[in-house]
Amino acid sequence: ESIEQELLRNQSILKNWKEKHIAIRDRISSILEGESDSLKMELLKFNYLNLGILTDNESLIDAILIDTAWESARSTGIVSEFDFETTQKLTLVYSMQDVLTDRTIAKILDYYFDTNSHDMKNLERILVQFQLRFWELTGQEELMMTVYQDALEQLEE
């Protein structure tokens, strides 16, 4: 698979993620703003934070962003044939991709699996923490869409 194909695939995955994550973020916001008491009541039926209610029973991550073509290009030395600007943009894409998956998404999951995030007496505080994390996630995803597009345009030159 070429780097261009890999970026197009990852961009498509990210587009789907972003739509789902914005919906989750908005669902959390509507609960916190008092616009969705039915969702809040649904959450309070459980003695733990039922993430399925916030995600509309969809998985948080349904595909993996890959870097196989990029790693192959780096390990075989093909990257040295790219001009500086192309290398710089590709490095940014894959570095940002790592931050998104290895840090931002991992922190959301870490918080979810923390026992304190299931203390339903503190539901508002817990939801604020998730809201902040999803704002960060969707912001990074928006930035990634731009970074993918920049890299794809650079590869076409």
Residue ranges per domain, the chain? 3-156
Q: Which two tokens stand for residue 47?
A: 């003695």
What pLDDT is recorded for position 36?
87
| CA neighbor of 16 nearest in space, from 64, 69, 49, 52 | 64
| pTM exceeding the 0.85 threshold for the entire prediction | yes
Backbone angles phi, psi at 119, to 5 degrees: -80, 95
Look at residue 82 and tell me whether its pLDDT is greater than 80.
yes
Q: Write the pLDDT tens digit of every residue in 30-48.
A: 999 999 899 999 999 999 9
Ramachandran class of 2: left when φ > 0, alpha when ψ lies in -120 to 50, beta otherwise: beta
Look at residue 12 and tell me whether its pLDDT is greater than 90.
yes
Average pLDDT on 89-95 reads 97
- 8 A C-beta contact, residue 92 and residue 151: yes
Residue 157: pLDDT band with limits 50, 70, 90 = confident
Percent of the chain scoring above 70 in pLDDT: 99
Look at residue 145 and tell me whether its pLDDT is greater than 80.
yes
Average pLDDT on 85-107 reads 96
Look at residue 120 and tell me whether its pLDDT is greater than 90.
yes
- 8 A C-beta contact, residue 8 and residue 149: no
Q: What is the mean pLDDT of the chain?
A: 95
Cα–Cα distances in angstroms (integers) from residue 32 to residues 78, 95, 118, in the given order: 50, 33, 17
- 8 A C-beta contact, residue 141 and residue 18: yes
